[in-house]
Amino acid sequence: MDIQKASLKIGDYQICPVPTGQFGLDGGAMFGTVPKVLWEQSNPPDEKNRIPMEARALLLKGSKHKILIDTGNGSDFVAKYGDKVGGKFSEIYAVDQNGPSLLKSLAGHGVKPEDVTHVILTHLHFDHAGGATTEKNGEIVATFPKAKYYVQRANFETATKPNIREKASYLAPNFEPLMKAGVLELLDGDKADLLPGVSVQVSNGHTRGQQVVKVSDGTNTLLYCGDVIPTSSHVRLPWVMGYDLEPLRLIEEKATFLEPASSENWYLYFEHDPYCDAATVEKKGPDFKVKDRFHL
């Protein structure tokens, strides 16, 4: 696989990938109805049928704002879940505790937890919000003490009263302490200028009230795809996850992002791709395909 190296600055923001550690998810669940003989070529599974996944957050490092998008599994602090989930959790999801972590990767970009000004959470599934909180003196508190956190109200409500299918993915220690501390702002729908050059757009096919994040200066545009397009393999329209609540709706939403992404040459940033950070895409008949892959 050919992956190009690119250094990207959009407006005032240096685009800084923040790998938070790999984990594994069932390959069948990641590709829904796509047969294994197809997906195992691009995403070979381990002996338990898990494919490697990155939990890749993103830092927008500006002169004034240090904006973090998603926070990974919280592999630094899996212990905060307690005996009920802690040990088992790491085992089921093969959470790598020895590689990069949220705080180590941020430190690599010269950013300390107290430097982060904003945290945008695409949604509250544990592999996105796990690093939002941490344990301190026996209490669970915000990992970024000076940051304002954002999530969609619809997603927060889903997370606090999860349906039976998603229950295992919404873990209260990841978000309830933020609400209690008054640092979590709930958004109602799309927001064009959440922060300078940064907008959010709602998608409901994967879970209720997920938000993808667009960073643009008019010349370069990057879309943080969250679980709408989790890896570069998911650029193709029918390749959607078994986890998605409404696959057909997700496919429609995916197309509304891929259309402008292909015509305007956006960088699509993949949260879960184990091999590349981002890619550009092009149209291929009624579908889309990857044009170039990048390490940012």
Are the CB atoms for 266 and 289 separated by under 8 Å?
A: no
Nearer to Zn ion, 30 or 140 (CB): 30
118/128 with CB nearer Zn ion: 128
Count interface residues toward Zn ion (CB under 5 A).
Answer: 2
14 burial level (CB within 10 Å; 0-12, 13-18, 19+): middle
Alpha-carbon gap, residue 63 to 210, rounded angstroms:
28
CA dist list (Å): 238 to 5, 54, 182: 29, 22, 40
Three-state secondary-structure class, residue 239:
coil
In the complex, what is the shortest distance from the CB of residue 205 to Zn ion, in angstroms, rounded to a whole number? 11
Residue 123 beta carbon to Zn ion: minimum distance, rounded to whole angstroms: 6
Angle (nearest 5°) at CA 31 between 29 and 35? 105
Query: Which member of 54, 96, 135, 227 binds Zn ion (CB under 5 A)?
Result: 227
**From the CB of 227, what's the least distance to Zn ion, in Å?**
4
Closer Cβ to Zn ion, 56 or 125, answer by number: 125
CB of 157 to Zn ion, least distance (A): 16
SS3 call for 70: coil
Q: Would you count residue 125 as binding Zn ion (CB under 5 A)?
A: yes
Q: Which is nearer to Zn ion, 59 or 212 (CB)?
A: 212
Stretch that binds Zn ion, among 122-130, 151-159, 233-241, 246-254 (CB under 5 A): 122-130
Whole-angstrom distance, CA of residue 278 vs CA of residue 291? 11
Per CB under 5 A, 70 contacts Zn ion? no
Residues that bind Zn ion (CB under 5 A): 125, 227
